[in-house]
Structure 1
Amino acid sequence: MSTDRRGPGPDHDAPLAAPARLLIRRPGPQELHPGRTHRRRRALELALALAVPLLLVLVWQLAAARSWIDARIYPAPSTILADGWDRALAGELWPDVAATLRRVLAGYLLGTVSGYLLGLLMGSLRLVRAALEPPLDALYVVPKLALLPVFLNMFGLGEGPQIALVAATVFFFVWISTMAAVLAVPAGHRDAGRVFGASHWQMFRHVLLPASLPAVLVGARIAAGVAVLVIVASEQIAASAAPRTVKPVAGCGATAWTDPADLARDRAPARCVKGAPAPRPLREHRTLTVATGTLNAEYVAPLRLAVARGEFAKEGLDVRLKVLPTPEALPLLAKGELDALWAAPEAAVVNGVNGGFDIRWVAGNFSPDRRSRSGLWVRLKDGQRAATASLDGNRLGTMIGKGSVIMYPMTTSLAAHHADLGSVVFQQLGSSDVLTALTGGGVDAAWLLDPVWRQVDGDRAYAFLGGQPPGEPLGGALYGPNLLQRDPDAGVAFLRAYLRTVNTYFAGDYKADKAFTAELARLLGVDGKVLVSVPPLRMDWEIRKGTTDRLQRAYRAAGVTKGAPLPENRLVDRSLYAEAVGHRP
């Protein structure tokens, strides 16, 4: 008889556990051929690293070729490569590359060395860290590009501000990473160094440097990439802030510039000799789209003739004139869809600039001949003379709205005859109805343009009260960001061709030449007899000082502008036509 000596418990009657299953995994390719697998993985990674950027470049090229993007602002990669190749062959690329590398390396070394030394010091000494960390933290959050004007004031124009900006940017990356790395060195490492009697130099060389070096190198690597970004941005900003080089221009001497403050009625307009300024073709051909309210007005004649006689083409420009009203053209000009606008600084322009549009009036068009009677006419009542005629309470007919530059000479004429914009009744009429309304008694006064005023000139029942001030252009060329910032060389070339056209064909009484007048009539699509029935315009590319102030006063009186008056430098830029004639302010 056998005796079971196992005590009671939960496993007393439990069955024996089943044997574990043996799992067998066959070795994969990476175990069988580790070298080949590693090479394939590296090849795939390299292919992806090359294919993705290449695909993006191809999409960019296609977008530019199909006009999905504006190639003037985002040129195709092929265009950039071709331009770089041409500049390299011409010897222009490498000096610029060397200058950029010199600036970025100098700034990087200054920022790295100073950031590392200070980070090491602040990480090692608690009192130094307590004293310097708060002000440095405050400076760290300041956008570094915002410091460029400060450095420009400190170091002047040149390489100094750009090197200082790169150094300031790099400094903070290296300082923070170094200080954090030193503070993260385990206390046990420091204690071990002290136990073995390490000096400060030995502690740095054998403990702090090896332990902190990986983090310091990471910070330096990040700083290197940021340094390149900063130098590119700073060079662009500094280039736009630096004055353009102005060289003397043959044929454009003292008579090519007059004092902008000279408002004399008999001031002779600026002139160069015939054929000057000479063409200076752009390195790359450019197409410019210029909007204008009409192609038939005489003030557009210099542009039409410059296109017809190839003056723009001599500069490497293909100028295309497009008819657009100013209110429609302004937003397109501000967005860069138009390059220039041949118009006037109307109230819409002032409101646009006040609203953020980057637009400037860069050249004048004409001032009236002293024989001209284009302007405000009044039908005289019994016993009235021009000098004593009062316009207070009169009905004034005009085809021009209150936002036009004509408001400036109109308010001047009204004030001379005991009236203002609020004391007359405006009636806006069609161009063919203004004269009819005046002669038929529908209005008491009217603003008559060329050549309509000829119909009442000499009739004693009517009197001319005033028009555009002699010697003061009220319109001309307006540029947007394309020619002001992105391609000022093309902006100067456009004005150079315009000025050369004026000096060559419109310098004097151009209407005395019958053949030339006939050509103008054909270009403008007008009757030659009508064209010669009024005096010639005094083509005048200069902008008078204070004109935009006087215009804004008239606009405010008419209630058509908003916001505070703009200073002249927000509306006017004389530097481009000054460069075209070689004038140094």
Structure 2
Amino acid sequence: MALAIEQPTTSATRPARRLQLRQLGQRWLPWLVPVLLIGVWQLSATLGWISARVLPAPSTILQTTWDLLLHHNLLGDIAISTRRALVGLAIGGGLGFGFGLLNGTFAISEQLFDSSFQMIRNIPHLALLPLVILWFGIGETARLFLVAFGVFFPLYLNTYHGVRSIDPKLREMGIVYGLSKWGLFRHIIFPGALPSILVGLRHALGVMWLTLIVAESLASNAGIGHLTMNAREFMQTDVLVMGIVIYALLGKLADTIARLIERRSLRWQVGA
């Protein structure tokens, strides 16, 4: 009968196992603190250290979320809020990106627009809420304007900075090699400015969700903000906290997608 002979662990497999453990740790380590906080929160609520009126237990919030999914159009509210956020991002972010490229590339455009943008940038966009209501009323236009205004400047500043930070010698080299204006933009200006643009996008995504929370308080008849405003009127703390958690999760999802885009777009960059 043949005997199975156990192969000894070679020295080559040990580094591979260490690498696998390190990668596993890097993947799950960011979730350690949130999981611990939720555990402490649940324990404190169970033991009565925290009143349910002040902060319901995570299990209660999960149950509330499940009930709203079954008996209320929660997914519809999330979809409406997401649409508002993305439309505002497309409008404000698109304008910010366009003006950033324009002012970073052409001196005459910078002289015309940049000083005005810098003055407006110092106005807290949420402080414009009463004026926005006077301009647009309390409809959808006001909410989209606030989100678009909020995300404009992160993308504008980072795009402008990215274009202006490109080494002039690279531009000169492109001209020497006979690149057209479009070729210069495609092969030198845009790739060189892309890391800064993506930083601006991540910043804009955070501002987007922060602004949307306030914007949806404008007599909204649908969306997560509408749900939380109704919960405030009826002192439903579990629904309020659930709404905040949903905003946080949507923000985390948006940031994760932005980081994935950044990782794939900057594979050419050393250390990216």
1:300-311 correspondence to structure 2 within 5 Å: none
Asked if the contact 1:148–1:162 (Cα under 8 Å) also holds between the matched residues in 2, the reply is no
* CA distance in structure 1 between the partners assigned to 2:47 and 2:162 by the alignment: 52
Sort the Cα spacing of 1:85 and 1:485 in 2 relative to 1 into closer, same or farther, 3 A: closer
Sort the Cα spacing of 1:111 and 1:59 in 2 relative to 1 into closer, same or farther, 3 A: same
**One-letter amino acid matched to 1:168:** F
* CA distance in structure 1 between the partners assigned to 2:167 and 2:113 by the alignment: 23
How far residue 86 of structure 1 moved from its aligned partner, in angstroms, is 0.4
* CA distance in structure 1 between the partners assigned to 2:148 and 2:30 by the alignment: 31
Tell me which residue corresponds to 1:147: 128
Tell me which residue corresponds to 1:345: none
Tell me which residue corresponds to 2:180: 199
Note the alpha carbon deviations across 1:343-396, whole angstroms, 9 max, x for none. Answer: xxxxxxxxxxxxxxxxxxxxxxxxxxxxxxxxxxxxxxxxxxxxxxxxxxxxxx
* CA distance in structure 2 between the partners assigned to 1:43 and 1:162 by the alignment: 42
| Larger strand share, 1 or 2 | 1
Quick check: 1:134 aligned with 2:115? Answer: yes
Sort the Cα spacing of 1:54 and 1:172 in 2 relative to 1 into closer, same or farther, 3 A: same
Tell me which residue corresponds to 1:41: 22
* CA distance in structure 2 between the partners assigned to 1:115 and 1:104 by the alignment: 16
**One-letter amino acid matched to 1:141:** N
Quick check: 1:214 aligned with 2:218? Answer: no
Sort the Cα spacing of 1:87 and 1:141 in 2 relative to 1 into closer, same or farther, 3 A: same
* CA distance in structure 1 between the partners assigned to 2:86 and 2:125 by the alignment: 18
Sort the Cα spacing of 1:67 and 1:148 in 2 relative to 1 into closer, same or farther, 3 A: farther
How far residue 148 of structure 1 moved from its aligned partner, in angstroms, is 2.4
Quick check: 1:97 aligned with 2:97? Answer: no
Tell me which residue corresponds to 1:54: 35
Tell me which residue corresponds to 2:218: 238
Sort the Cα spacing of 1:486 and 1:89 in 2 relative to 1 into closer, same or farther, 3 A: closer
Quick check: 1:186 aligned with 2:167? Answer: yes
Sort the Cα spacing of 1:147 and 1:30 in 2 relative to 1 into closer, same or farther, 3 A: farther
Sort the Cα spacing of 1:49 and 1:155 in 2 relative to 1 into closer, same or farther, 3 A: same
How far residue 91 of structure 1 moved from its aligned partner, in angstroms, is 3.7
Query: How does the TM-score come out when normalised to structure 2?
Result: 0.73
Q: 1:177 aligns with which of 150, 153, 158?
A: 158
**One-letter amino acid matched to 1:151:** V
Q: 1:125 aligns with which of 91, 101, 106?
A: 106
Sort the Cα spacing of 1:203 and 1:490 in 2 relative to 1 into closer, same or farther, 3 A: closer
The structure having more radius of gyration, on CA atoms, is 1
Sort the Cα spacing of 1:66 and 1:144 in 2 relative to 1 into closer, same or farther, 3 A: farther
* CA distance in structure 2 between the partners assigned to 1:82 and 1:32 by the alignment: 46
Note the alpha carbon deviations across 1:84-140, whole angstroms, 9 max, x for none. Answer: 110101142011111101100101111221111100000011222123222211221
Q: 2:54 aligns with which of 73, 84, 87?
A: 73
* CA distance in structure 2 between the partners assigned to 1:234 and 1:168 by the alignment: 11
* CA distance in structure 1 between the partners assigned to 2:15 and 2:141 by the alignment: 54
Tell me which residue corresponds to 1:156: 137
* CA distance in structure 2 between the partners assigned to 1:147 and 1:31 by the alignment: 63
SS of the equivalent of 1:238 reads: coil
1:392-407 correspondence to structure 2 within 5 Å: none
How far residue 174 of structure 1 moved from its aligned partner, in angstroms, is 0.5
Q: 2:234 aligns with which of 486, 489, 494?
A: 489
Note the alpha carbon deviations across 1:242-290, whole angstroms, 9 max, x for none. Answer: 69xxxxxxxxxxxxxxxxxxxxxxxxxxxxxxxxxxxxxxxxxxxxxxx
SS of the equivalent of 2:56 reads: coil
How far residue 70 of structure 1 moved from its aligned partner, in angstroms, is 3.9
Where in structure 1 are there 5+ consecutive unaligned residues?
Answer: 1-28, 244-483, 492-585
Higher relative contact order (CA 8 A, sep 6+): 2
Sort the Cα spacing of 1:187 and 1:34 in 2 relative to 1 into closer, same or farther, 3 A: farther
SS of the equivalent of 1:68 reads: coil
Note the alpha carbon deviations across 1:499-526, whole angstroms, 9 max, x for none. Answer: xxxxxxxxxxxxxxxxxxxxxxxxxxxx
Q: Give % identity.
A: 36
Tell me which residue corresponds to 2:67: 86
* CA distance in structure 2 between the partners assigned to 1:490 and 1:166 by the alignment: 28
* CA distance in structure 2 between the partners assigned to 1:167 and 1:214 by the alignment: 22
**One-letter amino acid matched to 1:238:** L
Asked if the contact 1:162–1:234 (Cα under 8 Å) also holds between the matched residues in 2, the reply is yes
1:322-333 correspondence to structure 2 within 5 Å: none
* CA distance in structure 2 between the partners assigned to 1:38 and 1:108 by the alignment: 39
How far residue 490 of structure 1 moved from its aligned partner, in angstroms, is 6.2
SS of the equivalent of 2:152 reads: helix
* CA distance in structure 1 between the partners assigned to 2:68 and 2:13 by the alignment: 54
Asked if the contact 1:182–1:212 (Cα under 8 Å) also holds between the matched residues in 2, the reply is yes
Tell me which residue corresponds to 1:459: none
* CA distance in structure 2 between the partners assigned to 1:165 and 1:91 by the alignment: 28
How far residue 209 of structure 1 moved from its aligned partner, in angstroms, is 0.8
How far residue 72 of structure 1 moved from its aligned partner, in angstroms, is 1.8
How far residue 30 of structure 1 moved from its aligned partner, in angstroms, is 9.7
Sort the Cα spacing of 1:89 and 1:210 in 2 relative to 1 into closer, same or farther, 3 A: same
* CA distance in structure 1 between the partners assigned to 2:97 and 2:20 by the alignment: 38
SS of the equivalent of 2:171 reads: helix
How far residue 486 of structure 1 moved from its aligned partner, in angstroms, is 6.3
Number of residue pairs aligned between Structure 1 and Structure 2: 220
1:231-270 correspondence to structure 2 within 5 Å: 231-235=212-216, 237-239=217-219
* CA distance in structure 2 between the partners assigned to 1:142 and 1:188 by the alignment: 37
Where in structure 2 are there 5+ consecutive unaligned residues?
Answer: 1-9, 222-228, 237-272
